[in-house]
Amino acid sequence: MPKPLKPPEKRRGRTRSQKPKHETHRPVGFTRTGTGHLIVEAGLDRNARLSLLVDSGASHTVLAASSRALADVDLSALETAEAKAAGGEMPPVRMIRLGTLRIGAWRFRGVTAAIMELGTTMERLGTTIDGILGQDVLARHGLSLDLGAGKIAFTSRLPRASSRRPRCAHFSAALNIKSEKLIEVEVRAQAKSPIAGLLDLGAAQTLANGAGVAYLGGRLLPADPKRPPPRGMGADERLLDVQRAVVAPFAIGGLKFPSRALIVADLPVFRILGYENRPVVLLGLDLFEDKRLTINFKTRRLTITLPQPGRRKMIRCSKPMESNHVA
pLDDT digits (tens, 9 = 90+) for 262-296: 999 998 888 888 888 899 999 999 999 989 999 99
Quote the CA–CA distance of 126 and 53 in Å, as a whole number. Answer: 12
Q: Which residues of 244-265 are buried (b: 16+ CB within 10 A; e: fewer)?
A: bbebeebbbbbbebeebebbbb
Any domain includes 233: yes
Among residues 99, 126, 153, which one ends one of the domains?
153
Any domain includes 79: yes
Any domain includes 225: yes
Please indicate, yes or no, whether residues 207 and 137 belong to a single structural domain of this protein: no
Query: For residue 101, what are the domain limits?
Result: 26-153
Angle at CA of residue 98, ends 50 and 68, nearest 5°: 40
Any domain includes 232: yes
Please indicate, yes or no, whether residues 86 and 213 belong to a single structural domain of this protein: no
Please indicate, yes or no, whether residues 41 and 134 belong to a single structural domain of this protein: yes
Residue 113, domain CATH: 2.40.70.10
Any domain includes 270: yes
Q: Are 129 and 53 in contact (CB under 8 A)?
A: yes
Please indicate, yes or no, whether residues 144 and 203 belong to a single structural domain of this protein: no
Please indicate, yes or no, whether residues 260 and 211 belong to a single structural domain of this protein: yes
Please indicate, yes or no, whether residues 174 and 296 belong to a single structural domain of this protein: yes
- Cα distances (Å, whole numbers) of residue 128 to 38, 50, 247: 13, 10, 34
Please indicate, yes or no, whether residues 201 and 130 belong to a single structural domain of this protein: no
**Of 326, 284, 286, nearest to 306 (Cα)?**
326
List, for residues 219-255, the tens digit of each pLDDT value: 999 877 766 655 555 555 555 678 999 999 999 998 9
Q: What is the mean pLDDT of the chain?
A: 82
Any domain includes 19: no
- Cα distances (Å, whole numbers) of residue 141 to 31, 144, 148, 160, 161: 22, 10, 22, 18, 22
Number of compact structural domains in the chain: 2
Residue 321 sits at φ, ψ, to 5 deg, of -80, 170
How much is the pLDDT for 274? 86
Please indicate, yes or no, whether residues 276 and 199 belong to a single structural domain of this protein: yes
How much is the pLDDT for 91? 74
How much is the pLDDT for 309? 63
Please indicate, yes or no, whether residues 115 and 175 belong to a single structural domain of this protein: no
Q: How confident is the model at residue 307 (pLDDT cuts 50, 70, 90)?
A: confident
Quote the CA–CA distance of 251 and 257 in Å, as a whole number. Answer: 6
Please indicate, yes or no, whether residues 145 and 228 belong to a single structural domain of this protein: no
**Of 242, 233, 126, 253, nearest to 183 (Cα)?**
253
Any domain includes 7: no
How much is the pLDDT for 22? 52
Any domain includes 280: yes
Please indicate, yes or no, whether residues 191 and 284 belong to a single structural domain of this protein: yes
Please indicate, yes or no, whether residues 50 and 82 belong to a single structural domain of this protein: yes
